[in-house]
């Protein structure tokens, strides 16, 4: 094993901070009793909301109503999870595609139980939440609604599964409405974010950048039990700093030639400790350059993993699952991450199924507080599935055709390159298909200081393919492009309808101060939900405001811009 293979490790510089600070603003809901119809007036379905609120014991405040609704939601989630388990027990009579769709629902239902237990347990203990706690619970409840919708769509898209599982439709539908009530009541009580921290430029560069010639400082000070391992492996001495301490739980190396700790990435992930906390440090998996033909799954128990490769097109993870060959979209991903606090650096993730195979995901991300830095995601339709929770992408490349950045996370892509590829004949390109189904969800896609260009195959096709900034996958789809370079490949209309007038008045599509030949808004769509926004509104979609990045991104060591440029 050579010191070259550990060069990426030496470039790491992590500064750990607590996620929760005593200085955070408290959010206190009103304790004034109010009638159910008033409590429900911000819910997506006020009539249904009123029907599930308590009718005895007199009027309650918003906290009491929300607590009651969450109790019902948790009971419904547990019941639905048990029902899915029953269906799968009879799997001997099911088709492979039906089993896959039901297994997706099983995973999602289990997450919903976890999320609702966490939310209910927190607000049952207090009416006063700190701002970061509020945003976390808001994200959990937003994800619960998304998970339920994903399960439903997976069953509907798989004919054999729907024929078997159409008895799930009523509990799915009832659960979705009930979860929406809980989300609406929570948002009514606690859903006002407070911008925290200084705006400015965010963190300085803490990883070295050999391609641009920039280098970040390396104030590494590992605990003694890990510094010896690190120095022996890398052949380097650590730079000491009394003010900056890096806590690392462990470092393992993946090398196919057998000279590392593991020969597969999945083997290293399996060895990572379960349910860690960030203050105990990252479990670092260094993946030596090479092509890894495997499907990687960072499940919910594998938290605070940092995976570092040797660079884009050096460390490559590849697979080819796709819908045409029987996979669900949800499970077609080459790389799946659910475990909170994941950080990916210097890795290429591909789905090589090709445009002909329709939906084929490279990365599916449902991990809260997850970050990808200097990574590349390559596929055609549905490349990057930003499924749920809070996410950040910095200096990444994303290649695709139809809806190639889609999902319902609260996500910021910053300083990234979005490359539209050549689709199948007769297809058009849509860079985004955001999936917000409820206006109370804190989700949306923010594209900040990115570059939107044609990939070489599309660029050489003489502009015959229509390419759009996005289209509304769901009724309350929300996407904003801010301070980005937009090349001439983008159609002057900018955006494309999904079907007829669907969502055109309920979506939230915005542009702010973009540049480049495709950035002119003179001939953009005139939908009620589209607007050119000012700096005040654009600020709402920055790292600091939209995903409260100042409170968790510094721990990753990844650079970011907190506010507008």
- How far from chain centre, in Å, is Cα 557? 19
The single-letter DSSP state of residue 214 is B
Q: 158, 152, 168, 156: which is closest to 98 by C-alpha?
A: 158
Report d(CA 474, CA 436) in Å as an integer: 6
SS3 label, residue 227: helix
Q: Are 100 and 331 in contact (CB under 8 A)?
A: yes
Catalytic residue among 403, 438, 457, 534: 403
Neighbours of 564 (CB within 10 A): 17
β-bridge pairing 348-351 and 417-420: unpaired
Domains of the chain: 36-190 (1.20.140.40), 215-357 (2.160.20.10), 401-564 (2.160.20.10)
Q: pTM to 2 decimals?
A: 0.90
Report d(CA 278, CA 280) in Å as an integer: 5
Angle between helices 169-190 and 62-89 (to 10 degrees): 150
Report d(CA 482, CA 499) in Å as an integer: 26
The single-letter DSSP state of residue 273 is P
Q: Are 387 and 366 in contact (CB under 8 A)?
A: yes
Q: Is residue 403 flagged as an active site residue?
A: yes
Per-residue pLDDT of the chain (565 residues; tens, 9 = 90+): 443 443 343 333 333 333 333 334 455 556 788 898 899 998 999 999 999 998 877 789 999 999 999 999 999 999 999 999 999 997 778 888 889 999 999 999 999 999 999 999 999 988 788 889 999 999 999 999 999 999 999 998 876 666 766 788 889 999 999 999 999 999 998 876 554 444 434 444 344 333 333 222 222 333 444 454 444 443 334 333 333 444 677 889 999 999 999 999 999 999 999 999 988 888 999 999 999 999 999 999 999 999 999 999 999 999 999 999 999 999 999 999 999 999 999 999 999 999 999 999 999 999 999 999 999 999 999 999 999 999 999 999 999 999 999 999 999 999 999 999 999 999 999 999 999 999 999 999 999 999 999 999 999 987 789 999 999 999 999 999 999 999 999 999 999 999 999 999 999 999 999 999 999 999 999 999 999 999 999 999 999 999 999 999 988 888 999 999 9
Q: Are 562 and 537 in contact (CB under 8 A)?
A: no
Q: Are 410 and 390 in contact (CB under 8 A)?
A: yes
């Amino acid at each position: 094993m050579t010191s070259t293979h550990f060069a990426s490790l030496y470039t790491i510089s992590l500064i750990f901070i607590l996620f929760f600070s005593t200085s955070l603003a408290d959010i206190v809901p009103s304790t004034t009793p109010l009638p159910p119809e008033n409590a429900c007036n911000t819910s997506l379905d006020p009539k249904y909301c009123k029907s599930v609120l308590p009718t005895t014991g007199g009027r309650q405040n918003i906290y009491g109503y929300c607590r009651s609704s969450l109790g019902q939601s948790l009971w419904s989630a547990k019941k639905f999870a048990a029902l899915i388990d029953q269906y799968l027990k009879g799997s001997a009579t099911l088709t492979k595609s039906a089993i896959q769709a039901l297994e997706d629902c099983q995973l999602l239902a289990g997450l919903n139980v976890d999320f609702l237990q966490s939310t209910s347990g927190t607000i049952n203990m207090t009416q006063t939440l700190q701002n970061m706690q509020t945003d976390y619970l808001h994200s959990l409840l937003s994800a619960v609604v998304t998970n339920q919708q994903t399960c439903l769509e997976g069953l509907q898209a798989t004919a054999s599964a729907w024929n078997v599982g159409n008895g799930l439709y009523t509990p799915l539908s009832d659960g979705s409405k009930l979860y929406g009530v809980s989300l609406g009541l929570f948002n009514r009580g606690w859903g006002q974010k407070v911008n925290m921290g200084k705006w400015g430029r965010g963190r300085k560069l803490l990883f070295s950048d050999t391609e641009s010639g920039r280098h970040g400082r390396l104030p590494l000070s590992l605990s003694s039990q890990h510094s010896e391992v690190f120095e022996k492996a890398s052949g380097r001495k650590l730079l000491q700093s009394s003010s900056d301490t890096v806590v690392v739980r462990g470092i393992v190396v993946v090398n196919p030639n057998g000279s590392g700790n593991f020969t597969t990435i999945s083997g290293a992930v399996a060895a990572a400790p379960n349910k860690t906390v960030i203050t105990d440090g990252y479990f670092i998996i260094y993946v030596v350059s090479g092509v890894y033909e495997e499907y990687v799954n960072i499940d919910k128990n594998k938290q605070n993993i940092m995976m570092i490769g040797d660079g884009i097109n050096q460390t490559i993870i590849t697979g080819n699952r796709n819908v045409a060959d029987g996979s669900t979209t949800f499970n077609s991903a080459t790389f799946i991450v659910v475990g909170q606090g994941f950080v990916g650096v210097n890795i290429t993730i591909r789905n090589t199924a090709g445009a002909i195979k329709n939906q084929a995901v490279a990365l599916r991300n449902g991990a809260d507080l997850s970050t990808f830095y200097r990574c590349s995601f390559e596929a055609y339709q549905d490349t990057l599935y930003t499924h749920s929770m809070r996410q950040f992408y910095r200096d990444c490349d994303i290649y695709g055709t139809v809806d190639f950045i889609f999902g319902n996370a609260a996500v910021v892509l910053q300083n990234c390159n979005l490359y539209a590829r050549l689709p199948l004949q007769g297809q058009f390109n849509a860079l985004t298909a955001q999936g917000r189904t409820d206006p109370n969800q804190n989700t949306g896609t923010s594209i900040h200081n990115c570059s939107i260009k044609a990939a070489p195959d599309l660029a050489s096709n003489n502009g015959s393919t229509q390419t759009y900034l996005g289209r509304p996958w769901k009724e309350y789809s929300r996407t904003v492009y801010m301070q980005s370079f937009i090349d001439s490949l983008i159609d002057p209309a900018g955006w494309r309808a999904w079907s007829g007038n669907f969502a055109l008045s309920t979506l939230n599509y915005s542009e702010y101060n973009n540049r480049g030949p495709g950035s002119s808004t003179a001939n953009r769509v005139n939908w009620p939900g589209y607007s050119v926004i000012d700096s005040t509104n654009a600020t709402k979609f920055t790292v600091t405001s939209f995903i409260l990045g100042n409170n968790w991104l510094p721990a990753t060591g990844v650079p970011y811009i907190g506010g507008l440029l």
